[in-house]
């Protein structure tokens, strides 16, 4: 069968070369296609007209390469790689067993596309391995997450509908700086216009997202992870101020960023100042586990939650004694 030398066929061969050799120069491309450099550039133009993103990179190491969104060549997995992929999905606590789930559906497609010998091992592992869910992991809605990530990339302001841990709901117009994953939870790091301050919202608690036409510029020196850590305990409904009868160097090991900021007071004491939307959780999961004497200086909600915990523990002791 004679070789098809039509412009379309040449353009398709151009696409194959770009897949195999990212950064190929016009001269190299022309040599591989057996045409002039001018013709090679014309075939690149045909690809671009077909909405295939071909990027031109200038400089001594420049050339043509496929951009994001281009159709990729089939991906091959070894048996170990395929099993590792299934293990990672299950270990991440997602519904990898369920084809009705987005991740489960995607994983099923990957397994079905694998060679029979490799796919069989991956399918068996998926069917019979069980992963205990991490109670601290909170998986957000993929569509919400995707919208936020696109807004971050496009630098578009959004209006989010949020529900706090205490059940309070509100809307806020924010500049989405970054989406950060921390210990199995997804957070939106943003600048809140109503508060005129940095805020961190859990993505799984964001119910609605509306992208606006307004643009923004994030801080030039933004470190999303460090900024998230610094601001996790700020901006919630209930103020907290707890003084510990121990040096800040000792207490710091027990303080997670969402609890607030720890500062020394001198004379072997320190103070933890922050905010929370869930005083009960703050007391039961955080303060109660700290091996230091402390007293609550600020936060009636925190005091109430502490009293409730003490009452429950006291009742447990009385009930145990009567038996």
Give pLDDT tens digits for 149-158.
889 988 999 9
Q: Is pLDDT above 70 for 276?
A: yes
pLDDT value at position 123? 74
Q: Is pLDDT above 60 for 95?
A: no
Q: Where are the domains of the chain?
A: 7-66, 79-128, 142-231, 238-316
Alpha carbons 147 and 191: distance in angstroms, whole number: 17
Distances in Å between the Cα of 255 and the Cα atoms of 6, 72, 199, 260, 292 are 68, 46, 20, 8, 12
What average pLDDT is seen over the chain?
81
CATH architecture of 142-231: Roll (2.30)
pLDDT value at position 4? 47
pLDDT value at position 7? 66
pLDDT value at position 47? 83
Alpha carbons 54 and 68: distance in angstroms, whole number: 9
Class of domain 238-316: alpha beta
Give pLDDT tens digits for 16-36.
888 888 888 888 888 888 888
121-135, 216-230, 239-253: least confidently modelled range:
121-135
Highest mean pLDDT pick, 91-95, 101-105, 147-151:
147-151
Enter the CATH code of domain 7-66: 1.10.10.10
What is the rounded average pLDDT of the residues 88-101? 58
pLDDT value at position 250? 93
Residue 154, φ and ψ in degrees, nearest 5 = -85, -5
pLDDT value at position 2? 42
pLDDT value at position 271? 95
pLDDT value at position 3? 47
Give pLDDT tens digits for 159-170.
999 998 778 899
Alpha carbons 160 and 206: distance in angstroms, whole number: 7
**259 closest CA partner among 302, 205, 313:** 302
pLDDT band for 43, please (50, 70, 90 cuts).
confident
Q: Is pLDDT above 50 for 65?
A: yes
pLDDT value at position 99? 57
Give pLDDT tens digits for 187-209.
899 999 999 999 999 899 999 99
pLDDT band for 266, please (50, 70, 90 cuts).
confident
pLDDT value at position 302? 92
Cα Rg, the chain, nearest whole Å: 28
Q: Is pLDDT above 90 for 15?
A: no
Report the 10 Å Cβ neighbour count for 203: 22
Alpha carbons 308 and 320: distance in angstroms, whole number: 18
pLDDT value at position 144? 87
Q: Give the residue, 321 or 47, on which the prediction is more confident.
A: 47
pLDDT band for 46, please (50, 70, 90 cuts).
confident
Percent of the chain with pLDDT over 90: 31
Q: Is pLDDT above 90 for 231?
A: no
pLDDT band for 233, please (50, 70, 90 cuts).
confident
Highest mean pLDDT pick, 114-118, 125-129, 161-165:
161-165
Alpha carbons 2 and 141: distance in angstroms, whole number: 52
Strand 169-182 and strand 156-163: the pairing is antiparallel
């Amino acid at each position: 069968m004679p070789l098809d030398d039509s412009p379309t066929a040449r353009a398709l061969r151009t696409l194959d070369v770009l897949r195999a050799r990212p950064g190929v120069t016009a001269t190299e491309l022309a040599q591989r296609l057996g045409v002039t450099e001018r013709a090679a550039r014309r075939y690149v133009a045909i690809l671009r007209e077909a909405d295939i993103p071909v990027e031109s990179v200038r400089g001594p190491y420049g050339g043509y390469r496929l951009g994001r969104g281009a159709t990729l060549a089939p991906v091959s997995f070894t048996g170990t790689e395929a099993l590792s992929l299934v293990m990672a999905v299950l270990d991440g606590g997602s519904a990898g067993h369920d084809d009705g789930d987005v991740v489960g559906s995607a994983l099923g497609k990957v397994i079905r596309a694998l060679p029979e010998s490799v796919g069989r091992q991956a399918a068996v592992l998926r069917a019979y391995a069980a992963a205990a869910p991490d109670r601290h992991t909170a998986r957000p809605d993929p569509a919400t997450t995707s919208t936020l990530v696109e807004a971050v990339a496009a630098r578009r302001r959004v209006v989010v509908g949020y529900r706090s841990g205490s059940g309070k709901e509100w809307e806020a117009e924010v500049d989405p700086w970054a989406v950060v994953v921390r210990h199995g939870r997804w957070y939106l790091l943003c600048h809140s216009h109503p508060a005129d301050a940095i805020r961190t919202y859990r993505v799984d608690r964001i119910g609605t997202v509306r992208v606006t036409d307004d643009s923004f510029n994030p801080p030039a020196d933004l470190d999303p992870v460090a900024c998230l850590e610094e601001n996790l305990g700020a901006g919630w409904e209930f103020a907290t101020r707890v003084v510990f009868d121990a040096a800040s160097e000792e207490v710091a090991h027990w303080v997670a960023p969402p609890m607030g900021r720890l500062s020394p007071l001198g004379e072997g004491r320190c103070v933890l100042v922050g905010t929370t939307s869930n005083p009960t959780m703050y007391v039961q999961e955080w303060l109660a586990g700290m091996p230091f004497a402390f007293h609550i200086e600020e936060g009636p909600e925190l005091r109430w939650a502490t009293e409730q915990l003490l009452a429950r523990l006291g009742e447990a002791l009385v009930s145990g004694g009567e038996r």
